[in-house]
Amino acid sequence: MNIEIFNKESCIEPLVHIGESSTQIIVMIDLPCVRKEDIDLKVSEKAVEIKTIIKTTFKNKRSVKFCLFHKIIDLPTMVFKEKVKAKFEKNILLITLPKEKNIKRIKIE
């Protein structure tokens, strides 16, 4: 796969929904017309980056062709990137990101 062959004009942002519990952040990304093997997912402690080819090139109402989904998602809190899990079902990418438990109790003087 060579994602870089597409220029920036052909990029669109996928729909994203972010949920949060006390222990984890759940990021859902809607990726219609995408194959699992084309998804390039990168995770840091603070953000998720998704980049993937859209297998069916289509034109919108302005006849602009779109070929690529790309989005950088800033996370609401730091996560433990080594324990991130992702699954792709019904063309929705579900990413589970455990929150980093780096909390220090402060003694009040």
**Which residues would be at the binding site for other proteins (CB under 8 A)?**
12, 14-17, 19, 28, 30, 32-33, 54, 56, 58, 60-61, 89-92, 94
> Cβ closer to other proteins: 12 or 47?
12
Least distance in Å: CB of 95 to other proteins?
12
Least distance in Å: CB of 109 to other proteins?
36
> Cβ closer to other proteins: 14 or 43?
14
Is there a contact between 36 and 91 (Cβ–Cβ < 8 Å)?
Answer: no
> Cβ closer to other proteins: 32 or 44?
32
Least distance in Å: CB of 18 to other proteins?
10
Give the per-residue SS3 of the chain. CCHHHCCHHHEECCEEEEEECCCEEEEEEECCCCCHHHCEEEECCCEEEEEEEEEEEEECCCCCEEEEEEEEEECCCCECHHHCEEEEECCEEEEEEEECCCCCCCCCC
> Cβ closer to other proteins: 43 or 69?
69
φ and ψ of 31, to 5 deg: -125, 65
Least distance in Å: CB of 15 to other proteins?
5
